[in-house]
Amino acid sequence: MIDESKLIEDLKNPALKNKAFTTLLDLYQERLYWHIRKMVVTHENADDVLQNTFIRVFRSIKTFKEKSTLLTWMYRIAYNESLRYLEKNNKISHLSMDEIELKNQDVLTQDIYFDADAVQQKLHKVVEQLSDKQGMVFKMKYFDDLSFKQIAAISDVSENTLKSSYYTAVKLIEEKMLAS
């Protein structure tokens, strides 16, 4: 069993950093990947963002002040990297929000690593129709199983706002799924 504070100490020690980083990848690589994948939609995009996220973690671990857990801090970096990636891509293509929604659905169905049945496709479509905040909190809470406290630390949004957005999102999804 690995002690998190020992891991952080090793990551900050130049002599032990590389070995500790390999351990860090073993522990968190997959969780971060799935978090990113749900934000940037395709496997190819998620792979790019995951690489950038770990490079950023490696470069900034010295500045980590341990005010949150290591996982929450890394989720925050992954979340910001995903937003940066989406912003950059949407700026380049000059799309409106409706067009981005449609584009994300098209991109998802064209991804060779997406193989969903009708119900799963419907769920994706409904989640894409949520507002940014509702979609973000729903994905983190429902799929990544993060607590509201963790999501608040990652996204800089208050816990109460997140709770309200989450329950609104769940209600909307239920309504739309049942209606179809």
List of residues contacting other proteins (CB under 8 A): 1-2, 4, 18, 21-22, 25-31, 33-34, 37-38, 43, 47, 50-51, 54-55, 58-59, 69-71, 113-117, 120-121, 123-124, 143
Please, are residues 83 and 36 in contact by the beta-carbon 8 Å criterion?
no
The least distance separating other proteins from the CB of residue 146, rounded to whole angstroms, comes to 10
CB nearer to other proteins: pick between 69 and 158? 69
CB nearer to other proteins: pick between 42 and 164? 42
The least distance separating other proteins from the CB of residue 122, rounded to whole angstroms, comes to 11
The least distance separating other proteins from the CB of residue 126, rounded to whole angstroms, comes to 12
Sign of CA dihedral 30, 144, 147, 101: positive
Between CA 22 and CA 28 the distance in angstroms is 10
End-to-end CA distance of the chain, in Å? Answer: 47
CB nearer to other proteins: pick between 123 and 170? 123
CB nearer to other proteins: pick between 23 and 161? 23
The least distance separating other proteins from the CB of residue 94, rounded to whole angstroms, comes to 28
Q: Which residues of 44-61 are buried (b: 16+ CB within 10 A; e: fewer)?
A: ebbeebbebbbeebeeeb
Please, are residues 10 and 17 in contact by the beta-carbon 8 Å criterion?
yes
